[in-house]
Amino acid sequence: MGLVLSLFPAFLLNAQMAPVASEADWYQWRGDFNTGVAPAGNPPLEWGEGTNVKWKTETPGVGHATPIIRGNQIILLSAVPTDQKADIPESAGDGERNPMSPTSTQFIHRFVVMSVDRNTGEIQWQTTVREELPFSSTHQFGSWASGSPVTDGERIYANFGSHGLYCLDFEGNILWEKDFGRMEKVMSFGEGSSPVLRGNHLIILRDHQGESSLLVLDKHTGELSWQAEREEISSWSTPLVVEVDGRSQVITSATNKVRSYDLTTGTLVWESTGLTRNVIPSPVYANGIVYVMSGYRGNALMAIDLSRAKGDITGSSAILFTYDQNTPYTPGPVLMDDRLYFLKANNGYLTCLDAKDGTAYYTSQKVEGINEIFTSPLGVKDRLYIIGTDGTGVVVKHGDQFEVLAQNQLEDRFFASPVVVGDALFLRGEKHLYCISE
């Protein structure tokens, strides 16, 4: 109990950043505090197909979007193939439309938002928001439903990227929708950035090989409040909103620059170079410091003091420290009790830094059983939950010394990140949604 209590001061500093939720909710992609931590949870250490599985539900289609939870409802996104083939011109049979590619399709898909009963696993409703052929290929480890939904507790906001943005109520009715056009991701890697809510603002990042932009919409109507054009190529990071000196900033991680915009006006507040290509991990924040990182064709981590960040901060004292080893390509970091955890590339090697000054407690420790990973770790109570692609789930002790507490196995493949509400761990596989609880 003492450890849980010791966590709360840091998290309370960040409470203003989260939608209003309770310990029984998980409103957004990386949890209430955008740090990948559930400070009040206590799920099991051990599980398996015959152990501590409260329920297991087969889900239609494929979606790598991490679920969100409000009350008794778990909200999932999925792209569900139909048996209807699209009429594809022969001239389109190159790369993007190549029917021989394992990441493209000839079949019309239903883009679906669904609700699952948190207690029983029963699918309550499914709403098809659009039905069409996916515009492009996607990565072999991606899906056409990879960006997580978000809620303010009253409405669901689901972004299928090139296939539209949708606002629904919790009965599955579509309240409004917007189409901002097709995105062209590098190498047909697919889409994945999640929408963000702050007050009445809904924030959408569209970094791709075309005209990149940051959009801020009125969450009630979907009308555009402002749009910032960006000199960027493809990124998959989700924006972060923080408050600095009474003003909210939208922080975006991307290849060319990390940038911060005033949420109300869209004015650029500060920017910096320093990350690698193909930025995927989302920024995390605590105690006045934001952490950004990437790990494709290089390693980069920057800790930025927001009280000093104005204008071009490249190489300035606003950057408290940098770290150039073992940073993640796909998995996001966990920021927990002044410790910053992250995995190397897409592999099971864990590093833990002091979040205040970058001192390494340990680096590149092998998490046995995790050989490939695209999910982001989850911090809860006194431990980290790390879910590998092949269904291996490893629990690591939170603290200055690396220690494995348990290793578990499920019969599915996992690309969505784990979610904890109370004493239950929710794991979305390619085929099934699991509720892990004693």
Q: Tell me where in the chain the CATH 2.40.10.480 domain(s) lie.
A: 66-183
DSSP bridge pairs for 250:
241, 261
Per-residue pLDDT, 97: 43
Radius of gyration of the chain (CA): 20
Q: What's the CA gap between 424 and 52, in Å, rounded?
A: 10
Residue 41 to residue 425: CA distance in whole angstroms: 9
Question: In the prediction, which pLDDT does 1 show?
Answer: 29
Answer whether 280's CB lies under 8 Å from 330's CB: yes
Report the predicted TM-score, pTM, of the whole model to 2 decimal places.
0.93
Find all residues with CB under 8 Å of 117, minimum gap 6, and list them.
Answer: 72, 73, 74, 123, 124
Element (H, E) at 7: helix 2-14
H helices of 35-164, where?
A: none
How far CA 54 is from CA of 7, 84, 246, 295, 436, in Å, comes to: 29, 36, 44, 36, 6
pLDDT tens digits, the chain, 438 residues: what are they?
Answer: 233 333 333 333 443 444 555 567 999 999 989 999 998 899 999 999 999 999 999 999 999 999 999 999 999 999 999 999 988 765 444 444 434 344 788 899 999 999 999 999 999 999 999 999 998 778 777 788 999 999 999 999 999 999 999 999 999 999 999 999 999 888 778 899 999 999 999 999 999 999 999 999 999 999 999 999 999 999 999 999 999 999 999 999 999 999 999 999 999 999 999 999 999 999 999 999 999 999 999 999 999 999 999 999 999 999 999 999 999 999 999 999 999 999 999 999 999 999 999 999 999 999 999 999 999 999 999 999 999 999 999 999 999 999 999 999 999 999 999 999 999 999 999 999 999 999
Q: Which regions of the chain carry the CATH code 2.140.10.10?
A: 2-64+184-436
Q: Give pLDDT, residue 139.
A: 76
Contact status, residue 18 vs residue 36, Cβ threshold 8 Å: no
Could you tell me the two tokens for 214? 């940051």
Alpha helices by DSSP H, 15-116: none
Write the Ramachandran bin of 11: left for phi over 0, alpha for psi from -120 to 50, otherwise beta: alpha
CATH 2.40.10.480 fits 66-183, yes or no: yes
CA distance 364 to 362: 7
Please tell me whether residue 290 adopts helix, strand or coil conformation: strand
CA 204 to chain centre: 13
The three-state (H, E, C) secondary structure of 122-149, written as one string: CEEEEEEEEEECCCCCCCCCCCCCCCCC
Say which residue the tokens 């796909």 belong to: 330
Q: Are 137 and 101 in contact (CB under 8 A)?
A: yes
* pLDDT at 105 (0 to 100): 86
Give 16's Cβ-side CA count (13 Å radius). Answer: 13
- Distance CA(148)–CA(216), nearest Å, equals 17
Pick the CATH number of 2-64+184-436 from 3.40.50.720, 2.140.10.10, 2.40.30.10, 3.40.630.30: 2.140.10.10
**Sequence-distant (≥ 6) Cβ neighbours of residue 85 within 8 angstroms:** 106, 107, 108
Kind and range of the H or E run holding 300: strand 300-305
Give the whole-angstrom CA distance, residue 438 versus residue 425.
Answer: 10
